[in-house]
Every structure is written in structure tokens, then in C-alpha cells.
Structure 1
Amino acid sequence: MFIAHPSLAQEVSLSTNDGEMALTGELLEFTNGFYIMRTEIGEVQVPASLVSCSGAACPEGGQVAIDFTIKGSDTIGAELMPLLVRGYAESQRAVVDNRKVGERQHVLTVIGDEGVGSTLFTTMIEDRGSSTGFRGLLDLSTQIGMSSRRIKGEEVSALADAGLGDALSFEQEHGIAVDGLLVVVHPDNPVDALTEAQISDLLSGKVSNWAQLGGADLPVTVYTRDGNSGTFATIAGKFLDPFNTSLTGQARIVAGNAEMSESVFGDPGGVGYVGFAFRGDNKPLGLISSCGIAAEASTFAAKTGEYPLQRTLYLYTTSAELPARAQGLLAYAKSPAADGIIEKSGFIGFNIDSRDLSATARSIRAEIDTNQSRQELAALRELYIDMLEWRRLSPTFRFQTGSSNLDNASRRDLLRLTNYLTTSPNVKEVALVGFTDTDGAFDANRNLGYARAEAVLDSIAAQLTGSDFDPSTVQIKSYGELNPVACNSDFAGQRLNRRVEVWVR
């Protein structure tokens, strides 16, 4: 099935079957179904199944059965993506033959009729870091990019400039799971919780001994991922960039989550960061924000976007038409059918969860005792009573910046919620509850919360047009700037506080 070819270093031209894209350069090698070429934009790999080759150096029989490729994040590609391919295959009564064909490369062949039929499709997964997925989309060497961070502005621009669409659109950006990151230390480390500034000092090397933070007299060893890692980008965005500092030059680079966990566990002075799934026997540090809000390291808080080290795991595509089986895999990965596989991999799916609000109610009760504003006190008492009577669902609605349109995550949650509301017999009452940041007057913010809750109700009603759903049965509430889930000192925190929650009873 795979053809190795010696280095040719002769010019060839590759063109897509629709004639929209063409690439010319020196053919260096043809192996595992890929043309490896040196071009004006650098060395690229192009799947033979997607292009036609012209030129004297084109290998015979070059059209091999690799139907589409998936490149990018090792957080997704190491285990989750192969399991999603397997799950999709099983939904088609097929089995998967998974073969390693190179460093961090696997070819998965999906065979129909439970393994005795014909090949349905073949895909290659290559997991070398999130940035490589975006480069693969740009140079046409992949059709699906995996990323453990959201796409950067310059990557969006590069794809748009290449005529490959808007990567931030709902049609091209596909959130499939949540990965909560934990800052972990050795289980014997007596330090339990740190502020964001203290963690920044650890990672930057400003704190070099745990005794400076109330721990044992041990030198600090920082473990980190390399610069291609979306995991590192998330950590840097939270603990380094906001403090105008950089990672210590003494940090030890490890290849992945598993190695990170093992390294910290083997080093009493170690500190690192891993996904929820890779905590192992290490101790996660509690996170305290600059305004004193303690982070809840729970799957519920990760689903709502309110755990500060949660991140969405994405699949990205371009505006080019995907092969039918790639479309099927993508639809499966975003569907409730994939939730079990996502959780089996140690990540967090978008299946709807609920929790009572009693813990938050206790915090509101304490605030009632200290608040001096007559206006806020009345609302706090109302909020306290409500929280004793309702449960909160995990779908949480936020809007595109400067827009009344739901953001991509909320559009995804909308589909899940409407299905939940029409299929859950235990839900008797529903309330949409608006919250805001602290900018503006209290009354104005409360009115803004009402307006946002009404906008979400309109979206729900539009999604359920033709069903028995009656929008008039949904209660609309707003508590404005009360009950913040993040600090209001920056845009990111303000955005988290601008939300519409879903309550049921």
C-alpha cells in the first residue's frame, strides 16, 4: 500500500482535482501516500489522494488510498483522535486497522462490514503540536487541523489570504471537548494553593526555592512543553504574558502530558502543568485570582468556561470541501455519540451537566451581611432565595465581542440545550438568568442582563420552531453585576462575567 521513493529533486506540479489550487516545486520524496516537496513557501507534504501530479519525476501508481489527513495537537492526536475514528467506524459497522508509519504518524484504515468488507476510507493522523495543524491547513497537506488552543490572529489572516475561508466561523471552527489544565506539584509538597502572580514567579524563575512560598527548602524545577505546544500557549497566556515575563531558561522541556506527569512525580521540587486526564498521583495547586476569587477545578466549571485553566480542544477545517467520510467523522466528533469516548480519554465532553447552587448561595449570604448598598442588598436577597430553589445547567451563553450574536461555543451549546429541553421529562421550569460585568450603573447592568437573556430565549425559540416548545413558559431573570465568576479588571474576566445561565427545577 505504501510506496517509498528515492529523493528525486526534480520539478513537478500538483493540482487539486477541482483545479482551484496548484503547487510547483522540487519533488524530494514520495512515501506513505505523500508528495514531499520543496517550494517557495518551504518544505511541504501533500496527500497524493487529493492532487494530480504532472512532471517527469511523478511516481507511477502514486494515487494511494489516503483519503484525508489530520494534523496538529498531540493532546488530541495521541489518543483522542484515533478513538474518535474508531467510534465513527463502529457507528458505520466497520473496524479500524491502525498502523504506525513514522514518528508521530499513524495511518488508520477503516474496513466495512465489521472488517470483512471493502475499505471505507483511510486517514493519516500526525500529532506534532497545534501549530503544525494550522501550517498543514495552509500548505494543503492536511484537511483537518487539531489544536489544543484557539487559532491565533495571524493564522486566521494567513488562511483567509490564501483563499481558505474564515477559520473563526462556526463552519470551520469545531470545539469537540474541554481539557482542564492543572498546575501540579509533587504529592509531598506542602504548598496547596497559589495566586496567579505566585505561579508566574515560579514559572519565570523569580521564585527559585519552595521555602519562598511557605514550602520545604527545596530548589524549584520547572517542567514545560516546547513552543509548538498549545498547552504551553495556554499556560503562557495565563501566567507569563499578563505579567510581562517569560519562562525561565532553566525549564526542562518534556515531550507530552504523560512525560510531564511522570517528571513532576519523580521530582520533589518539580512543578509543571498537565490536563485533567494526566494528573496521576501529583497534587494540583488551587488557583486564586488577583481579586480573590478561588477557582473551582471541576468538570462543571470547565464546561461553563469559568475554570481559569480550562481550554477547548478544536478541530479546524478550511472552506475547501471535505471528503464525505471526513465530514462524517467531523459530525460524529461533535455529536453526543462521541461524549463517552471523550470522557474515556480523560477529557470533558459537552454533554449537559447540572449542579445545585447551594455553595454559591452561601457566598451570597455572606455578602448580604457586609454589603452597604440598599439597591444591591435587595437584589442579593432575591438571588440568595433563587439559588436555594434552582439548579444550574452547564450550557452558558456568551456573545461575540460587540455583537448580539452568540459565539461559536454558545451556538454549539444551543443545539445541546434544545435537545435537552425537549427530551428531559424531569424539567418542569426553566429560567434564563443574565449577568454582566461591573462597567456602568447597577440598574443599567441589570437591564442589560434581562436583554441578553431575552436574546438567548429568541435563539432557543428559533431553534425549536415547529415543536411544542412554548417560549412564554421560560422565566427571564437578571442579577446584573452580582455573583462574578472572574475578576472584572481585564477584558477576559469581563467577558466571562457577561453571561446567561440556564436554571431548571
Structure 2
Amino acid sequence: MAHLMLLFMFKCWSRKFALLMLPAVCFANNPSLAPFSEAEQGLLFTAKGSNTVGAQLLPGLAEDFLRAKGLVNVGRIPLAVENEVRIQGFLSTRPATQPLFVDIAAHGSSTGFVGLQDGSAQLAMASRPIKAAEAQTLGHLGDMTDFAAEKVVAIDGLAIIVHPKNPLEALTIKQVADIFTGKITNWQALGGRNEPIKVAARDENSGTWDTFKTLVLAKGATLAPGTQRFESNDQLAALVSAQPGAIGFVGLASVNRAKALRLNDEGTEPLAPSALSVATEDYILSRRLFLYKSPADSTTVIDEFIQFAQSAAGQARVKQVGYVSQHPRVVAADLEGVIHQDYLATVRDAERLSVNIRFKAGSAELDNKAKQDVQRLAQVLKDPAFAEKTPLLIGFGDAKGSDSRAKVLSKLRATRVKAALYELGVSTAPVAGFGAIMPVAATDKVRNQRVEIWLK
């Protein structure tokens, strides 16, 4: 009875839900941006915060944005303080023309929220979600967790790499942490050869190191004695490829000749670090990179910049820098190790899209990234290239007392995505819900509450 009531309630208000959930925001493939007017001059906006976002990604996006707005002679100027840069361009090549510019200060995520608080920044760059205390401090600006304030600009992912002849194929996150902190020092303890483990890591200034430290190591943990540190991903990967006992971590683009291991939480299926598993956030070492602004700030240039960063053109820059684009695309599905026959039968002869729809913690409401993703999906699926394809939505979740209840709730999530797409003019096939099978996380269980997108 409870299951029937859930479905009945959803049918009564799903249309209303979809209308309320999806703000009218354009995510054009190549947004048409009006040129700057002659009246514009000087500073356009200041961005402060994460070095992971601000070292290369935001400067690159700012350069592309200024060019898209018609500026010429666009370039970077290092400022007096390390990790601060100015991106500038000119309305014309006339000698008297004054530059228009964006200032970027990349000193850590927390400094971005301080910048919003004291008014020295209009955009905060963050490699983590805003903390409750930070949102409370910025409460005078509005709800900083709202869609109008929080924008996901890219997905970051790390690969754990070993020598190509290392017989190991997979590790748990705990095993990785134990290796890098020196608790496990020989591959034999993990079922490998009797060979000392040589640990390699990025240096302290690296955003890749910051990602690894955040997602793998306990707070305050220190690296194993004798760990070699590297300034670049490619240098680290070259060492690991050359030394049989070595292990390290790199961005996805730098695996090169090394072997990337599958990773998992205890009790979940190991996943390889692929463009698909990171883009869908199923891979355990994936994370979101954010931009935050005051939800009350309707400054045209800031809104245009965010729109550009979210577009296919902006996401191409994301990919070029080495992060994972959020622009939906058809990708090769990784079904290795999947044993659930009903699921395999459902996706047979279907193509996988590189996006999962996820929900707010403790809620069936689409999270802020999902609201963006649904609009991207709607635009992509209206492309003539997909005219003969029908979207298939497959829901998953956590155990909810019984298998049948878990399946109902997972199907309900898929139905909500179906309704949201319908409101944007996209029809889908009947949805499927598989409950708690194929979990991708043991501790961060919100990751399990997801809807996969396939094309039939």
C-alpha cells in the first residue's frame, strides 16, 4: 500500500515538481555573447579561492570568455602576489584603448568565501562544497546552497597507477591510504610480489595532491618515509612506469604507460578511472569543482561568464586543462564484472551517456548539478543526431528496509528525471528501477542515489 501511495502522490504533483525545480537557464553549445560596449572599462570581476580551480582552469575560461565577447590581444599578466593573475583584453588595437580585465587570486577554497564576505570578490572558486558555517556567515547574501549561488564548473578525478607489469588489478581506498602513509610497505601484503613499495606523490603546491589528500588520507595523516614528490603528473607517471615496485596518483590525462588500478569502497564493485566513471561520479576518486556567487547578484557579466563556463565551449576548456567535461556525450559502457542479468538485459543494444543525475542528501530533490545536467541533456537530445534514439532512465538507490521498497524509490527517482525532461520537451522510454544493486559507495551513500541515462 505504501508503495502505491508513493506512486499516486508522485503522479499528482510530478508536473508541478519539474516546473519548480528547473530554473530557466540557457546552456548553449556555443553561447552567443554580445560584445562589450565602449562604456565598459577596467575590472569586470574578481575571483578568489581554490588553487585547483584558479591555477589553470579559471584563467583559461576567462581568456576564452573575453575572446567570445569580442576582445583582442587577450592575455595573462602575473600580479605581484604568487598565485594571482590578471586576464585582460582590449576593445580594439587603438593605442589609447584601456584594458578590460578579470583578476584571479588562487589561495585556497576558504579564501573565496572570505572574498564574498568582505566584498573583495564576486566569484568564489572551491574544490569542495561550501561548509555550513560558511553558508551561515554569508547568509546576508542569500541561500549559498541554492542553484542561483552554487555552480559546478568541472569534475576532477585521480588515477592510482602502478607499473604495467604489477599483477594487482584493484585496491580499496583504505588499502591505498595504508600504502601512502607507510602502513603497508610490501606488495606481498596485498597479494602481489614480494617487493618493497615505492611511493610517489605530487608536491605540496599541486591541486592533484590536494584532491588526493582530501579524498584518501585521514586528516593530519603524513606520507610514508621516503616518498618521492613531483611537480608534474607526467614526471610521476614516468617514474611509476619505469620502477616495478612504484605506486602514485595522477590526473586521468597523465596515466600514459602506467597501469591504472580499479578502486572501490569496502562492499562495492571496483571501478576503473575512466572518462565515464569520473563524469558520472561513480568513481570513488571523483569530485566536483565549484563556482559560488551571491544569489542576489544579477551582474550581467558574471552571469554571462558562468553561462559560458557551463556551455560546451567552456567545458571544452575544462577537458583541455585536464579535468572532465560535463557536456553529455555517448561513451563506451564499462559492464565488466556486472552480474545482474535484468540490468544487462535492459541496457542491451543501448548506448551510455556520460552523465548520472543525482539528488540532494536526504531528499528526492535534484541537486544543483543535476538541475544543470537535465538542461544540458534536453539540449543535446534535441540534436538531429539523436533523432532515432530514445532516452532510457535507470534508477538506483540504497537499501530501504526491503528490496521492493528500494526498487520503488529508485524508480520514483527515475520518474522524476523523466518528468523534468518532459517539461523541457524530451520524451523518454518507460523508466526502470533496480533498487540497491550495484552500489558505488559504502560511506558516501548519496552517490548510490542516482539515475543513469542510456539511449535505445
How high is the TM-score relative to the length of structure 1?
Answer: 0.71
> Counting strand residues as a fraction of each chain, which structure ranks higher?
1
Please tell me whether residue 82 in structure 1 is matched to residue 65 in structure 2.
no
1:244-289 Cα shifts (integer Å, max 9, x gaps): 88234748696xx843653564574664433223445554333243
Once the two structures are TM-superposed, the CA of residue 500 in structure 1 deviates from its matched residue by 1.8
* Aligned counterparts, 1:200-279, within 5 A: 200-210=177-187, 212-213=189-190, 214-215=192-193, 217-218=195-196, 220-221=198-199, 223=201, 226=204, 231-232=208-209, 234-241=211-218, 246-248=221-223, 250=225, 258-259=231-232, 261-262=234-235, 265-266=238-239, 268=243, 271-279=247-255
After alignment, is 187-196 or 65-74 more displaced? 187-196
Q: 1:387 aligns with which of 320, 329, 347?
A: 347
Which residue in the other structure is 1:443 paired with?
A: 404
Please tell me whether residue 461 in structure 1 is matched to residue 415 in structure 2.
no
> Unpaired segments of 5 or more residues in structure 2?
1-40
CA RMSD between the two structures: 3.2
Larger CA Rg, structure 1 vs 2: 1
In structure 2, relative to structure 1, the CA distance for the partners of 1:118 and 1:216 (3 Å cut) is: farther
Q: 1:171 aligns with which of 116, 138, 148?
A: 148
Which residue in the other structure is 1:406 paired with?
A: 366
Please tell me whether residue 140 in structure 1 is matched to residue 100 in structure 2.
no
After alignment, is 427-436 or 405-414 more displaced? 427-436
* Conserved 8 A contact 1:186-1:264: no
Q: SS of the counterpart of 1:397?
A: strand
Once the two structures are TM-superposed, the CA of residue 410 in structure 1 deviates from its matched residue by 0.6
Work out which structure has the larger RCO, using CA pairs closer than 8 Å and 6 or more positions apart in sequence: 2
Amino acid at match of 2:405: A
Which residue in the other structure is 1:290 paired with?
A: 266
1:169-210 Cα shifts (integer Å, max 9, x gaps): 111111111121122456676655322221111122212455
Please tell me whether residue 308 in structure 1 is matched to residue 269 in structure 2.
no
* Conserved 8 A contact 1:186-1:265: no
* Conserved 8 A contact 1:149-1:234: no
Please tell me whether residue 496 in structure 1 is matched to residue 447 in structure 2.
yes
Amino acid at match of 2:251: G
Amino acid at match of 1:246: A
Q: 1:195 aligns with which of 148, 172, 175?
A: 172
1:376-426 Cα shifts (integer Å, max 9, x gaps): xxxx44x33222132222232222123232101110101101112222444
* Conserved 8 A contact 2:157-2:251: yes
> Unpaired segments of 5 or more residues in structure 1?
1-63, 368-379
Please tell me whether residue 475 in structure 1 is matched to residue 418 in structure 2.
no
Please tell me whether residue 332 in structure 1 is matched to residue 308 in structure 2.
yes
Q: Percent identity?
A: 28
Task: Say how many residue pairs are matched.
Answer: 409
In structure 2, relative to structure 1, the CA distance for the partners of 1:79 and 1:386 (3 Å cut) is: same
Q: SS of the counterpart of 1:166?
A: coil
- How far apart, in 1, do the equivalents of 2:61 and 2:294 lie? 20
- How far apart, in 2, do the equivalents of 1:158 and 1:409 lie? 23
Q: SS of the counterpart of 2:130?
A: coil
Please tell me whether residue 486 in structure 1 is matched to residue 440 in structure 2.
yes
1:201-252 Cα shifts (integer Å, max 9, x gaps): 11222124555443564464453554x97655643454334xx882347486
Which residue in the other structure is 1:418 paired with?
A: 378
* Conserved 8 A contact 2:197-2:247: no
Q: SS of the counterpart of 2:324?
A: coil
- How far apart, in 2, do the equivalents of 1:404 and 1:143 lie? 31
1:435-486 Cα shifts (integer Å, max 9, x gaps): 222232122222222222221122122233xxxx5x4x6322222223x141
Please tell me whether residue 152 in structure 1 is matched to residue 152 in structure 2.
no
- How far apart, in 1, do the equivalents of 2:96 and 2:421 lie? 43
- How far apart, in 2, do the equivalents of 1:216 and 1:458 lie? 56
After alignment, is 167-176 or 438-447 more displaced? 438-447
- How far apart, in 2, do the equivalents of 1:173 and 1:408 lie? 7
* Conserved 8 A contact 2:185-2:197: yes
Once the two structures are TM-superposed, the CA of residue 135 in structure 1 deviates from its matched residue by 3.0
Q: SS of the counterpart of 1:301?
A: helix
- How far apart, in 1, do the equivalents of 2:263 and 2:200 lie? 17
* Conserved 8 A contact 1:225-1:232: yes
* Conserved 8 A contact 1:72-1:128: yes
- How far apart, in 1, do the equivalents of 2:49 and 2:227 lie? 22
